[in-house]
Amino acid sequence: MNPKNLFAVTGKVDHPFAISVSVLRNMPQIQVNVVRDNRSVTYAGVSLKDLLAKAVLSADSAKPNQLALTAINLGGNPITLSPECTQAVFRDGTQVIVADAINGKPLKDDSGPLMLIVPNEKPSAQIVPNLARIRVGTTN
């Protein structure tokens, strides 16, 4: 299968996995609204919190304040999320998602097929285009 059509969760988890984008699209979806370039944009996708629960965080990485999450894009470039963004994954009321759609349409090839969306972060939402996997680590 083409790596562009896969999403994976790896690192300090008990059950690392890789799934196809089509399987991800059939999982329960949520929507988040983000303001980009003074326009409201609606992204749809799967909760990262739910995907991490599927992977089962290892005992030594189970405390959210000690987690380090790294988003890795299709080019293999790692983007380490700030501690605030990492903690937002587990914060009630914040929906960090692995998005596959924008304004009701699939993401375009230049930014997808998947993006990590961390809404409500200041000064603006954190967005990682061309998402391939999330690597779980610890800060210590």
Tally of CB atoms within 10 A around 80:
14
Give the whole-angstrom CA distance, residue 27 versus residue 98: 11
11: β partners: 136
Q: How many structural domains are present in the chain?
A: 1
pLDDT (mean) for 123-134: 83
Residue 10 is part of which domain span?
A: 3-138
Nearest CA-CA partner of 95 in 126, 72, 135, 73: 126
Q: What is the pLDDT of residue 62?
A: 60
Q: What is the pLDDT of residue 59?
A: 72
Which tokens is 10 given? 């790896």
Mean pLDDT, all residues of the chain: 86
CATH number for 62: 3.90.420.10
- Whether the full predicted model's pTM is greater than 0.75, yes or no, is yes
pLDDT (mean) for 53-60: 82
Q: Three-class SS of residue 117?
A: strand
Give the whole-angstrom CA distance, residue 77 versus residue 117: 17
